[in-house]
């Protein structure tokens, strides 16, 4: 079975500061990894995905994530936080057999931006 | 392009009553998903359709939940009878199909059972 653990259900950063949201995965097969963002009262939107190509993945809105097999991690970062980044962020895992068809989501991290 | 449309946005019912949620996927998207999102949790897959066929309903509680996707377009998810523990957000998503096609989510239906 696959799973993801998101460390920190709430993260607060100042506007302009580095954003770091942590995700560790567990998988018995090579994983596919995803980050989704959910703005208030909206559905989820794909930020970026890792599907066994480049380990550093760039996504929308200036976010990026690095796949580190040795650490079983896929942390999400952004160099400079904007007020519009305030949202809930979900890490998800799957594998090559199922890809997007069978995602296992983490419990989410709520990001607050301090003016 | 129009996104995934779900209705209603909010629904409040008393326990033991039936309830239904409707989803209209993005035009041309053959794959449709229903997810359940409990408060403070990530989404959990309930059912996946390929066209009109339910290809993965292993996580759907079939004693009270049912779903259909007539003609392979719109879909309805029903709960009968509803229980207090069913209070959650029900998300619909669609994709072109295949393992790498991104999911497009609707805004969800927030169900409150009293």
For residue B97, the model assigns a pLDDT of: 85
Q: What is the CA radius of gyration of chain A?
A: 13
Tens of pLDDT, residues B58-99: 999 999 999 999 888 999 999 999 999 999 999 999 999 887
Peptide bond connecting A51 to the previous residue in cis, omega within 30 degrees of 0: no
Q: Considering only the beta carbons, identify the residue of A101, A102, A107 that sits closest to B41.
A: A107
pLDDT at A114 over 70: yes
State mean pLDDT over B29-35: 95
pLDDT at B1 over 70: no
Q: Using CA coordinates, name the residue in chain B closest to A109.
A: B40
Q: List chain B residues with CB under 8 Å of A108.
A: 40-42
Both ends of chain B: CA-CA distance in Å?
Answer: 37
Please report, for residues A38, A64, A108, B84, the alpha-carbon distance to residue A111 in angstroms, rounded to integers and kept in the order given: 10, 16, 10, 29
């Amino acid at each position: 079975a696959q799973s993801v653990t998101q460390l920190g259900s709430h993260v607060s950063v100042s506007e302009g500061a580095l954003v770091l949201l942590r995700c560790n995965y567990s998988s018995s097969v090579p994983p596919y990894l995803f980050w989704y963002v959910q703005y208030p009262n909206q559905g989820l939107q794909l930020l970026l995905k890792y599907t066994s190509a480049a380990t550093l993945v760039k996504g929308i809105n200036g976010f990026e994530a690095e796949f580190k097999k040795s650490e079983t991690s896929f942390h999400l970062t952004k160099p400079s936080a904007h007020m519009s980044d305030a949202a809930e962020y979900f890490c998800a895992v799957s594998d090559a057999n199922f890809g997007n068809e069978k995602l296992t989501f983490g419990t989410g991290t709520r990001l607050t931006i301090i003016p | 392009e129009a996104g995934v449309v779900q209705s209603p946005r909010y629904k409040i019912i008393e326990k033991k009553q039936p309830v239904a949620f409707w989803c209209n996927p993005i035009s041309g998207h053959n794959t449709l998903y229903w997810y359940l999102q409990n408060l403070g949790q990530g989404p959990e897959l309930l059912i996946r359709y390929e066209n009109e066929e339910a290809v993965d309903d292993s996580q759907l509680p079939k004693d009270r939940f049912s779903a259909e996707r007539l003609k392979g377009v719109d879909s309805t998810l029903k709960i009968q009878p509803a229980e207090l523990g069913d209070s959650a957000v029900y998300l619909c998503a669609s994709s072109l199909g295949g393992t790498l096609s991104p999911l497009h989510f609707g805004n969800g239906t927030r169900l409150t059972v009293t």
